[in-house]
Amino acid sequence: MVGEFVPSPVDPVDAGGEFWRRYHEFRRVRQKETRPDEPVRDDADEEARMKRISPFQGDDRYEVSRDGEMLGLLHAYYTKPESPEYESNKHLYDADLFVRGANRRRGIGSSFLPVLIDLMERRNSTTVSFWVEEDAGHGFLKWVGAEVKLNEIESRLIFSEIDWPELERWVEQGARRSPQTRLEIIDGPVPEEEREAFSAQMSVMLNTVPMEALDHGDIVVTPDTMRDHYERFDLSHEVPHTVLTREADGTISGITEVNWAPYRPAFIEQQFTGVRPDARGRGLGKWIKAAMLLHIRDLYPATEWIGTGNAGSNAPMLKINRALGFKQHRTGTAYQITRARSSRGR
């Protein structure tokens, strides 16, 4: 029934105990439905993350709740003017929407659309992106009229299946093919004095990641955005690890990052991997990935698997990952729709 559900704004900073109770119950329901083999973050850490106001990303949240039970939640986010990415990203909005399984097809999902359009109008954003992994999400986004813009493959590598001697060979070959290049391992945040050079190379590499048809802005990493990123990790005690290659002139030519967290000790999240375009074709990608996995095995013997996501069109990264033994676990799709084209939210 149109108009039956009216979303209300959520302000994590001022939210009371009753909100947190229904929110934590809701996110557990979601996790059980969508990622049942992954543990949820601790309640206190989750609250700290949601209460933290990011200097670079703005967050809006709205809920539909009945009788003390959260039925649906919208999290919409955008790039703040303070962000170095603002100029090329200010037209974009991101939305994450979830309605619990038992309450779907009652108009709760669509009740968030006028709110979303209103938020976008207020910030002059023209395009919103949605990330979809489940059939219901695909059905909903098609109804919304959004278009598929990027397909991603999420893969997992099971540690007990890794061919470790092969990885050791990759490390030896990498060093042999590039005798002037040094491999460095950083446990924890990249040291502050390194961040200027590191973030400059990260920005170059990140902007070479295939984005398929996605309308996207530039990715700009700076020492300030790195600090923000690490502060966010700290709130749930996540530990970053970085392996990089450095050329004879000091230039960082390859980077791979993962993170570990105490609430999910059985698995590692792969973050970014990149090799500078002018250093490709020398086996640096295989070298850094193999060196990272060998390092993780020694550091965290309880690791069972590592997960990663790559655009379906990212042939070089997928090839390395498949050679390591990564297998497709699920797929995800980014949809986008412009405010001008959306008729469902009005």
Ligand X SMILES: CC(C)(COP(=O)(O)OP(=O)(O)OC[C@H]1O[C@@H](n2cnc3c(N)ncnc32)[C@H](O)[C@@H]1OP(=O)(O)O)[C@@H](O)C(=O)NCCC(=O)NCCS
Which residues would be at the binding site for ligand X (CB under 6 A)? 96-99, 104-110, 130-132, 134-137, 139-140, 143
Q: Identify which of residues 50 and 292 has a Cβ nearer to ligand X in the complex.
A: 50
Instruction: Using CB positions, name the residue nearest to ligand X.
Output: 137
Nearer CB in complex with ligand X: 75/229: 75
Cβ of residue 12: shortest distance to ligand X, in angstroms?
19
- Supply the minimum distance, in Å, between the C-beta of residue 263 and ligand X: 22
Is 3 or 16 the residue whose CB approaches ligand X more closely?
3
| Nearest CB to ligand X, comparing residues 36 and 250 | 36
CB of 6 to ligand X, least distance (A): 13
Cβ proximity to ligand X, 14 vs 135, nearer residue: 135
- Cβ 143 to ligand X, closest distance in Å? 4
In the complex, the smallest distance separating the C-beta of residue 332 from ligand X, rounded to whole angstroms, is 10
CA atoms of 201 and 222, how far apart (whole Å): 10
The nearest distance, CB 147 to ligand X, in angstroms, is 14
Please say which residue, 285 or 345, places its beta carbon nearer to ligand X: 345
Q: How far is the CB of 100 from ligand X (least distance, A)?
A: 7
End-to-end CA distance of the chain: 15
Q: CB nearer to ligand X: give 153 or 292.
A: 153
Nearer CB in complex with ligand X: 10/183: 10
Minimum gap (Å) between residue 4 Cβ and ligand X: 10
Half-sphere exposure of 284 (CA within 13 A, CB side): 27
> Six-digit token pair at 346?
């009005």
Helix/strand/coil (H/E/C) assignment for every residue in the chain: CCCCCCCEEECCCCCCHHHHHHHHHHHHHHHHHHCCCCCCCCHHHHHHHHHCCCCCEEEEEEEEEECCEEEEEEEEEEECCCCCCHHHHCCEEEEEEEECHHHCCCCHHHHCHHHHHHHHHHCCCCEEEEEECCHHHHHHHHHHCCEEEEEEEEEEEEHHHCCHHHHHHHHHHHHHHCCCCEEEEEECCCCHHHHHHHHHHHHHHHCCCCCCCCCCCCCCCCHHHHHHHHHHHHHCCCEEEEEEEECCCCCEEEEEEEEECCCCCCEEEEEEEEECHHHCCCCHHHHHHHHHHHHHHHHCCCCCEEEEEEECCCHHHHHHHHHHCCEEEEEEEEEEEECCCCCCCC
Distance of CA 147 to CAs 117, 218, 313, Å?
Answer: 17, 21, 17
